[in-house]
A and B are shown apart, each in its own frame.
Chain A
Amino acid sequence: MVLGLDLVEQREAVRSRVGLLGHSNGLYTDLTITENVAFWGATVGASAEEVSAAVERMGLAGRLSDVPVRKLSAGQRRRTALACLIARRAELWLLDEPHAGLDAAGRDELDTVLRAATAAGAMMIVASHEMERAGALATRMVEVAGGQIRGQIRGQESGTP
């Protein structure tokens, strides 16, 4: 069960509420930031205000939002992808090595927005090799090795992971 929905029976419903961000960003590089976020927002019927709010939350508002994605830095693209997750109203975020490919400034930027997003209500699972950085972000940490959960590093013990 995920988000109150059965994982097998209600697969499509689960998918639409979960946001996955792997090492690719899922963006259309010829379109601008706003157009990408608006596209993803439209898949759930988001309004124009929601779209611009998502863009702003990720610190991409202003003239930057009309730049085609292919001209952006890796960090900016990452933030655009996260803005798409917000516009899509994803409730559960699955982030796979979100800091990969970013320089130090980019990583700090990312941490700020991740904190802001959780503060706004999103639930996040982050897979990362960077124990320190992930540790600074997380309320709960679990170690995984060889495909198996090895143990909790921090956080409350609860029934389901």
Chain B
Amino acid sequence: MTSFAVTKLVAAKDLRIELRSRVLINQVLPFAAITMVLFAFALDQDDLLVRVAPGLVWLATLFSMLVVVQRSFAVEAGDGALDALRVAGVPAQGIYFGKAAALAVQLLVLETLLFAAAFVLYSSRFDGAGVFLLITSALAASCGLGLVGTLYGGLTTGTKGRESLLPLLLLPVVAPVLIGATRATEAALGVGRISMQEGWAWVALLVTYALLFGIGGSIGFGPLVDDTA
């Protein structure tokens, strides 16, 4: 079976599992929303909140992502499904891109809802001029996060003690996405002193990031999940 067909199959399977179990909707989303509320408690100033809303949305996304990645691999480890796939000779690259795609889709849903929450909770304003930039940057960032999350999720899945490594490994690696996505979003929403042009430059960084880790991940994912300890 071709890698591309496997990708579609695995992505559909992951999304179907999510639709069935609704972990994103029932657990992750409330967690992310509470995080947004806690940010407001911590920062305590309304005009400050509007200014930093883009950063807070992406921070909440990153923290929630840890849960979504662990869930993505918990369904594989629960009954040994990922191992069974590899033993059956299903191409690792296809599995990698399939899970990354499903993760990216889930993150996009999460981001959309978090932006809505920001408009409600932080009174963010949006005049529509930067909508194209906003959507493109969210897409690019989500692709990058999906690829990186799947890669490190595959590394840390499995026996005890490994899951707790995920935050330590993943959060430094996604820092460029946080910087790029936040700056692009600030440009799109017109907060801060950043121009639309600069915003698009940041999108270029996000795309480069996704490309580089996409290549790195397609090579590294197989060796990482194939060890059995």
Contacts and interface: CB of A to CB of B under 8 A. Distances in A.
Q: Do A and B bind each other?
A: yes
Interface of A: 11-16, 18-20, 22, 24-31, 35, 39-40, 42-45, 68-69, 88
A101 B91 CA distance: 31
Interface string B75-91: 10011110111011111
Given A31-B17, A39-B13, A22 B88 contact: no
Contacts of A39: 9, 13
A26 B81 contact: yes
A26 B17 contact: no
B83 A26 contact: yes
Contacts of B1: 43-45
A68 B6 contact: no
Interface residues of B, number: 21
6 contacts: A15-B88, A26-B84, A30-B20, A31-B13, A45-B1, A68-B20
A29 B80 CA distance: 11
B15 to A, nearest CB: 12
Nearest to A13: B89
Contact of A27 (B9, B16, B79, B90): B79
Contacts of B26: none
A26 B82 CA distance: 7
Most chain B C-beta atoms within 10 Å of own C-beta, residue among A15, A42, A43, A44: A43
Contact of A28 (B75, B87, B91): B75
A24 to B, nearest CB: 3
Nearest to B87: A20
Nearest to A26: B84
B79 A28 contact: yes
Given A28-B75, A39-B13, A20 B84 contact: yes
Contacts of A20: 84, 87-88
B106 to A, nearest CB: 15
Most chain A C-beta atoms within 10 Å of own C-beta, residue among B6, B75, B84, B90: B84
Nearest to B84: A26
Contacts of A26: 79-81, 83-85
A69 B17 CA distance: 12
In the A-B complex, the 9 residue pairs with the smallest Cβ-Cβ separation, listed nearest first, are A26-B84, A15-B89, A24-B80, A16-B89, A12-B89, A30-B21, A27-B79, A30-B17, A30-B20
A18 B89 CA distance: 9
Contacts of B17: 28, 30-31
Nearest to A68: B20
A44 B2 CA distance: 10
Given A13-B89, A15-B88, A35-B16, A30 B79 contact: no
Interface in B1-54: 1, 6, 9, 13, 16-17, 20-21
Nearest to B19: A30
A29 B79 CA distance: 8
A15 B87 contact: yes
B21 A88 contact: no
Contacts of B91: 12
A80 B78 CA distance: 16
A26 to B, nearest CB: 3
A22 B80 contact: yes
Nearest to B20: A30
Contacts of A35: 16
B88 A28 contact: no
Nearest to A17: B89
A122 to B, nearest CB: 15
A29 B85 CA distance: 15
B33 to A, nearest CB: 24
